[in-house]
Chain A
Amino acid sequence: MINVESLTKSYGSFTAVDNVSFTAAPGRVTGFLGPNGAGKSTTMRVMVGLTAPGSGEVRVLGRRFRDLPDPGREVGVLLDASAQHAGRTGREILTIAALTMGLPRTRVDEMLERVSLTPDEASRRVRNYSLGMRQRLGIGTALLGDPEVLILDEPANGLDPAGIRWMRDLLREFADQGGTVLLSSHLLHEIEVIADDIVVIGNGRIVAQGTKDELLAGAGTLVRAGDGTSLASALTAAGITARPTSGGAVLAEADLTRVGQAAFAAGIAVTELRAADGAGLEEMFLALTAESQRESVSHTTPSTEGAAA
């Protein structure tokens, strides 16, 4: 259980996290989705006490993180798999964590097996690890204390497809046993396949949150024509709330029949007409990404036709 309440963090005049509130519930995997630089990592660092919040607070299992008596045994944290001493072996890193939590050494071997690091790999120095192996080691460190809550920042980075599948199953099982999982990603697909709840953050603000089903259902219709802007005006004139997105596509809040008739009445040739199916989330996410990438304007770039996916 993680409660984030009105969290704000500024660096000078730049607001990295702006009044963010959400809850990650037990028994569910909560996906924290946003483009790079949206404020995910800052929010997660505040969660575990590495960064002081400007205002607002985060409670994990009902307490501020720093008030947890032995945090490793209640909250498993992986913020950056590369933040390990390059000169220590994988086994040594787990041993240090086990000693800190007062766990028996046998727990280290159990965990190495659980994250599929062979004894040979475990005795190598982390300097020689691939990013995927570091992620496995990091997930091992997070799981070591048999916590109730997992906080993972981009844990799928560097994992191969089999590794991603492995992690997905592992997190699913963790949540099914009543654990709370919060994981961040900048990839919508990654979050889609694993999360029960989704929190979308962009430019430090929460732009959408809810269950995956709610967000992906994305009420409405996607309609496309040669000129999206005039199509949108025509639909608006017909009393339908409509918003042009990219490549001539328009998201309209009405059923297929009404949208199709309105376009026909306006004399606009429609090239695509279908239920939006999460296109709302995807379009929004693409727009957010484009904004953070500054150099491109998504509205004029046909390559951002994510809605067709």
Chain B
Amino acid sequence: MSTATLVPTPAAAVPETTRTRPAPAPIPFRRVLQVELRKMFDTRTGFWLMASIVIASVIATVLTIILGNRDDLSFDAFAAAVGSPMSIVLPVIGVLAVTSEWSQRTALTTFTLVPSRPRVLAAKLVDAVVIGAISMLVALGIGAVGNLVTAMITGNDAVWNISAGTFAQIVLANELGMLLGFALGLLFRNSPAAIVGYFVIIMVLPGLSGALAAAQPWWSDNAGWFELNDTRYLLFDGSLTSTDWAQLGVTSILWIVLPLLAGLRLVLRSEVK
């Protein structure tokens, strides 16, 4: 460079005094969990997503009471009713838990305060799973109230035809949806892309798979090993065979664990701007 005629004079030698105070204690994981949880609620979007869990459950329950054949209504009808809005809201919460850091560029602050990206992401994952479980309990609780109200209206005894096992399976099915959203969030780090990706996987792929199964006997027999939705929906209905569980495990690895690992790798390597 022709202009660099000023001789670079290195700054005066400074003694290697690295710090004048003792280093602070490391940030405990509990604190990261708490902060990430707060960040899921403290914006309008976050607040209304959480509120929509309650609101959607109440609406679904009320509609079931009004529109359903009240004499036949039992708890499983309410569980199905509150479950369907959850299968949309929870994955969106999972997606936004990750993508909002990039879409709003808060990752700059987040990762300078906690440089370990796996720690931040692990905290988000734990928070998302806990929110998913609590949301499902709240939603099913509201459904249960609906079931009681129906019983009061009809004068029949409330029918509680869902076992604890099925209850747990419904929670699991929705947690899987949420984890899928989380994984897609990591993979795309872009809210619209991840949300569209989620709906393509749960709404478009089953149709494609069905079409393929109609044309291909082999796919018809074996789609359960590749298509997440097939087995995930079985969780809502109750009993799964050991093959069903194995298929659920395989498809979860394929559609949730692998994207999660790939997304994690991308996030760890990417530049935060």
Residues of A within 8 A of B (CB): 1, 22-23, 25-26, 30, 45, 48-52, 59, 61-63, 65-66, 68-74, 77, 79-80, 82-88, 92-93, 96-97, 99-102, 141, 148, 178, 197, 202-203, 205-211, 214-215, 218, 243, 251, 280-281, 283-284, 287-288
For window 56-107 of B, CB contacts with A under 8 Å fall at 100, 104-107
Instruction: Output the least CB separation between A1 and chain B (Å).
Output: 6
Which 8 pairs between the two chains have the least Cβ-Cβ distance? A62-B18, A83-B105, A87-B43, A210-B9, A69-B26, A50-B272, A287-B3, A66-B115
- Contact pick for A211, options B12, B27, B105, B115, CB 8 Å: B12
Instruction: Kindly list chain B residues whose C-beta atoms are within 8 Å of the C-beta of A1.
Output: 14, 17-19
Contact A207 B112 (CB under 8 A): no
- Contact pick for A209, options B8, B19, B27, B272, CB 8 Å: B8
- A-B pair count, CB < 8 Å, reads 158
| A197 closest partner in B (C-beta) | B11
Instruction: Output the least CB separation between A59 and chain B (Å).
Output: 8
Instruction: Output the least CB separation between B106 and chain A (Å).
Output: 5
Q: In the complex the two chains form, what is the Cα distance from A101 to B32 in whole Å? A: 9
Instruction: Kindly list chain B residues whose C-beta atoms are within 8 Å of the C-beta of A49.
Output: 111-112, 115
Contact B26 A70 (CB under 8 A): yes
Contact B4 A208 (CB under 8 A): yes
- Contact pick for A48, options B31, B43, B112, CB 8 Å: B112
Contact B108 A205 (CB under 8 A): no
Among B34-42, B132-140, B143-151, B205-213, the stretch that binds chain A is B34-42
Q: In the complex the two chains form, what is the Cα distance from A230 to B204 in whole Å? A: 75
Q: In the complex the two chains form, what is the Cα distance from A71 to B111 in whole Å? A: 10
30 A-B interface contacts by CB (under 8 A): A23-B11, A50-B271, A51-B271, A66-B115, A68-B115, A69-B26, A69-B27, A70-B25, A71-B114, A74-B24, A79-B112, A82-B105, A85-B43, A85-B100, A88-B42, A99-B31, A100-B27, A101-B27, A141-B109, A148-B21, A203-B1, A206-B8, A207-B4, A207-B6, A209-B10, A211-B11, A214-B9, A251-B5, A280-B6, A284-B4
- Binary flags per residue of B112-130, CB closer than 8 Å to A gives 1, else 0: 1111100000000000000
Residues of B within 8 A of A (CB): 1-6, 8-12, 14, 16-21, 23-27, 31-32, 34-35, 38-39, 42-45, 100, 104-109, 111-116, 269, 271-273
| A87 closest partner in B (C-beta) | B43
Instruction: Output the least CB separation between A213 and chain B (Å).
Output: 11
- Contact pick for B6, options A22, A70, A92, A284, CB 8 Å: A284
Instruction: Output the least CB separation between A271 and chain B (Å).
Output: 22
- Contact pick for A50, options B10, B32, B111, CB 8 Å: B111
Instruction: Kindly list chain B residues whose C-beta atoms are within 8 Å of the C-beta of A48.
Output: 112, 115
Given A50-B273, A148-B19; A99-B105 close (CB under 8 Å): no
Q: In the complex the two chains form, what is the Cα distance from A280 to B12 in whole Å? A: 21
Instruction: Kindly list chain A residues whose C-beta atoms are within 8 Å of the C-beta of B20.
Output: 26, 148, 178
Q: In the complex the two chains form, what is the Cα distance from A49 to B112 in whole Å? A: 7
- Contact pick for A65, options B27, B100, B115, CB 8 Å: B115
Instruction: Kindly list chain A residues whose C-beta atoms are within 8 Å of the C-beta of B26.
Output: 69-70
- Contact pick for A99, options B1, B24, B38, CB 8 Å: B38
